[in-house]
């Protein structure tokens, strides 16, 4: 039995994390929300199956001066009639970007088109992708959640040690630690995706998008906001019931 199809339109927009606040609903219950300053973005390239092997669109975000860009990027963005953009990201599509958009839930894209917060007024759940905060070099307890050694009872200067990482006979007798062994090291500064966040409010006039809960990254960090790709079944049924 196949999973129910996601009824939401396939969209994406780039923005920056502003911070967190709270909103009170009609029932008086407050909920934490993250404010995202999104767009405006411009479609800088349209991918086709014949030329690129897949369907998709490339979005540009954050205009910059020509002296801060490169000649190839300046010419690339000029084909879309846009100024040089600092960031470029792609969105995969199920079908051709042009046309009536039937293969993309009624959404069509064309070169030079602008994408704003108003395009997300009919979106209920989104996925947010960002870069987590860098935390530097951390031990195994903080990095992987290890419980540590005993606080006393004979343990000496090994309270936060990860313990053994292998012996002479481990890993087929090579004595080398196995690949992927959890040890201390650099933590954070990684691409993190948070799925199925409800869209609480859309301020099209100020290009603001409010989503429920936290998102990865620091204030001012670049984030990708896209329509939720893999919704839970109960959320799909709720969307279908709402029409």
Mark whether 57 and 99 lie in a shared domain. Answer: yes
At residue 102 the predicted structure's pLDDT band, cuts being 50, 70 and 90, is: low
Q: What percentage of the chain reaches a pLDDT higher than 90? A: 62
Q: Are 177 and 166 in contact (CB under 8 A)?
A: yes
In a domain, 181, yes or no: yes
In a domain, 217, yes or no: yes
Task: Count up the domains in the chain and report the number.
Answer: 2
Q: What is the mean pLDDT of residues 10-25?
A: 92
- Confidence (pLDDT) at 242: 66
Q: What is the mean pLDDT of residues 101-111?
A: 73
In a domain, 7, yes or no: no
- Confidence (pLDDT) at 98: 72
In a domain, 224, yes or no: yes
Mark whether 126 and 85 lie in a shared domain. Answer: yes
Summarize pLDDT for 195-208 with one digit per residue, the tens: 999 999 999 999 99
- Confidence (pLDDT) at 104: 65
In the listed set 168, 187, 206, which residue is the last one of a domain according to the structure? 187
Mark whether 57 and 152 lie in a shared domain. Answer: no
Mark whether 72 and 88 lie in a shared domain. Answer: yes
Summarize pLDDT for 117-168 with one digit per residue, the tens: 999 998 999 999 999 999 999 999 999 999 998 898 888 889 999 988 988 8
Give me the domain span that covers residue 23. Answer: 12-135+191-242
Mark whether 45 and 152 lie in a shared domain. Answer: no
In a domain, 45, yes or no: yes
At residue 27 the predicted structure's pLDDT band, cuts being 50, 70 and 90, is: confident
Mark whether 181 and 97 lie in a shared domain. Answer: no
Mark whether 27 and 104 lie in a shared domain. Answer: yes
In a domain, 206, yes or no: yes
In a domain, 182, yes or no: yes
At residue 1 the predicted structure's pLDDT band, cuts being 50, 70 and 90, is: very low
User: Rounded distance, CA 26 to CA 224, Å?
Assistant: 30
- Confidence (pLDDT) at 8: 79
Mark whether 64 and 33 lie in a shared domain. Answer: yes
């Amino acid at each position: 039995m196949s999973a129910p199809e996601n009824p939401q339109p396939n969209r994406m927009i780039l923005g920056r994390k502003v911070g967190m606040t709270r909103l009170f609903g009609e029932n008086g219950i407050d909920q934490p929300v993250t404010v995202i300053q999104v767009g405006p973005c411009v479609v800088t390239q349209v991918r086709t199956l014949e030329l690129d092997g897949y369907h998709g669109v490339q979005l540009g975000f954050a205009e910059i001066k020509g002296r801060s860009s490169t000649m190839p990027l300046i010419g690339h963005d000029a084909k879309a009639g846009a100024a040089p953009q600092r960031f470029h990201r792609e969105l995969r599509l199920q079908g051709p970007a042009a046309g009536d958009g039937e293969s993309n839930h009624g959404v069509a894209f064309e070169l030079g088109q602008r994408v704003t917060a108003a395009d997300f007024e009919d979106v209920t759940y989104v996925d947010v992708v960002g870069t987590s905060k860098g935390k530097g070099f951390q031990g195994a307890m903080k990095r992987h959640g290890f419980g540590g050694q005993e606080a006393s009872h004979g343990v000496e200067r090994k309270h936060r040690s990860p313990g053994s990482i292998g012996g002479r006979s481990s890993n087929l007798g090579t004595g080398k630690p196995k690949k992927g062994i959890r040890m201390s090291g650099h933590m954070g500064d990684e691409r993190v995706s948070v799925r199925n966040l409800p869209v609480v409010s859309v301020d099209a006039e100020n290009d603001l998008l409010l989503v429920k809960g936290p998102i990865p990254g620091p204030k001012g960090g670049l984030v990708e906001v896209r329509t939720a790709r893999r919704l839970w079944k109960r959320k799909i049924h709720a969307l279908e019931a709402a029409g």
